[in-house]
């Protein structure tokens, strides 16, 4: 299933995004990433094997500039709240909706001057059973 790839791709198409989003976890330098969170679940399973799922994801950004993090995550949050369509490239899912579960918030500040902020979302999708 290619949902997280399409979500990351959609974020990277946003006008004014100062840094590209990547799949995975934060690196040692400035980075902006998306990764799955625990708690995702199947809401309903149909006779043909198709499943309605709630999937939890987190966007994380690390930078020494709080203003850059703020601008990035609030832009992403604003655009994702309006997201009505997201297409699978391999027909593995149908998009229903994306819910912002936590607005951007600070998670960490360290002695080297790095700040980490997070943005949590929940996707409701239908996962199509592979043939």
Q: What tens digit of pLDDT does each residue of 31-59 get?
A: 999 999 999 999 999 999 999 999 999 99
Q: For the whole model, what pTM was predicted? A: 0.95
pLDDT band (50, 70, 90) for residue 100: very high
pLDDT band (50, 70, 90) for residue 112: very high
**Quick one: tokens of 109?**
């500040």
- Number of structural domains the chain divides into: 1
Whether 21 shows a pLDDT value over 80: the answer reads: yes
Domain enclosing residue 74, as ranges: 3-127
CATH number assigned to the domain comprising residue 114: 3.30.2000.10
Residues in the chain: 131
**Quick one: tokens of 28?**
């040692």
Of the CA atoms within 13 Å of residue 30, those in its CB half-sphere come to 11
Q: What DSSP state is assigned to residue 19? A: S
Cβ neighbours of residue 39 under 8 Å, at least 6 residues apart?
A: 56
Whole-angstrom Cα distance, residue 68 to residue 61?
A: 9
């Amino acid at each position: 299933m290619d949902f997280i790839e399409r979500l990351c791709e959609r974020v990277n198409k946003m006008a004014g995004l100062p840094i590209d989003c990547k799949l995975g976890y934060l690196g040692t330098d400035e980075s902006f990433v998306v990764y799955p969170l625990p708690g995702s679940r199947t809401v309903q399973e149909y006779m043909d094997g198709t499943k309605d799922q709630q999937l939890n994801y987190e966007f994380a950004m690390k930078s020494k500039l709080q203003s850059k993090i703020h601008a990035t995550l609030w832009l992403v949050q604003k655009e994702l709240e309006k997201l009505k369509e997201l297409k699978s490239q391999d027909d593995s899912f149908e998009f229903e909706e994306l819910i912002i579960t936590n607005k951007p918030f600070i998670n960490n500040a360290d002695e080297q001057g790095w700040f980490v902020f997070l943005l949590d979302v929940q996707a409701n999708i239908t996962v199509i059973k592979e043939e």
